[in-house]
Chains A and B, each alone.
Chain A
Amino acid sequence: DTAVSQTPKYLVTQMGNDKSIKCEQNLGHDTMYWYKQDSKKFLKIMFSYNNKELIINETVPNRFSPKSPDKAHLNLHINSLELGDSAVYFCASSQGWTSGSIYNEQFFGPGTRLTVL
């Protein structure tokens, strides 16, 4: 059983297009995240949602708009794609977000490899 799943796995698109990535977790977790891993493999938080509410927006351009229809799903919509958006986008989830190791343990989806041409 897949714990955290993302679609699509690969996304190749032209500059200026709008695209969405979907994420679902079946772990019963309350908190979900989007991370971006660039070509240098550096993994950086973008957004965090707890039970459908945004709790982190890590100075991401407003072309990126996350949406959480329920606590098991977190989607990412990107408008007007730019070359610099090319990266791997990982969704993750955790039991919660307050301090305490168990609650913070985050489990990652397989990633969406976005290439903007």
Chain B
Amino acid sequence: RKEVEQDPGPFNVPEGATVAFNCTYSNSASQSFFWYRQDCRKEPKLLMSVYSSGNEDGRFTAQLNRASQYISLLIRDSKLSDSATYLCAVNIGNQGGKLIFGQGTELSVKP
């Protein structure tokens, strides 16, 4: 089993749709969680950290479920500009800060 796994995608959705991505992690010692966005041939950009109580930033909502060991990202009212690959990342803690990334989920928002 991979340490961090994501929905394989691709997700093809119309503009205005709500789309949700899940990401599971295997190490219960995981401490910090993040969602990154990566556009084609660009670097990953931090979208949001995921806090235990869940957090929201505009149209984006991230949730953490420690009991089931997954994090989720909800995008409401999808825009064409949301088309990208979404990567979840997990920090185990006390391992030099390394992030373990999922394989990414590709999102394509169509007009």
Q: Write the residues of chain A forming the contact surface with B, with a CB cutoff of 8 angstroms.
A: 31, 33, 40-45, 48, 50, 55-56, 58, 90, 94, 96-111
Instruction: Tell me whether B103 is interfacial, beta carbon within 8 Å.
Output: yes
Q: How long is the Cα–Cα vector from A45 to B101 in the complex, in angstroms?
A: 9
Instruction: Jot down 17 A-B pairs with beta carbons below 8 A, ordered by A.
Output: A41-B85, A43-B101, A45-B100, A90-B43, A96-B97, A97-B96, A97-B97, A99-B91, A101-B32, A101-B33, A103-B97, A104-B34, A104-B99, A105-B46, A106-B46, A107-B46, A110-B42
Q: Could you tell me if A98 and B94 are in contact, using CB atoms closer than 8 angstroms? A: yes
Is B51 close to A, CB under 8 A? yes
**Chain B 28-57 interface 0/1 with A at a Cβ cutoff of 8 Å (1 = within):** 000111100000001111100111000000
Q: Does chain A have a CB within 8 A of B95?
A: yes
Q: Which residues of B contact A44 (CB under 8 A)?
A: 101
In this complex, how many residues of chain B approach chain A with their Cβ under 8 Å: the count is 27
B96→A101 contact, CB < 8 A: no
Asked whether A104 and B104 contact (CB < 8 A) given A90-B44, A110-B43, A111-B43, the answer is no
Given contacts A56-B95, A107-B46, 18 further A-B contacts (CB under 8 A): A41-B104, A43-B44, A43-B101, A44-B101, A45-B98, A48-B97, A50-B96, A56-B98, A96-B97, A99-B31, A99-B94, A101-B34, A104-B32, A106-B34, A106-B97, A108-B43, A109-B43, A111-B43
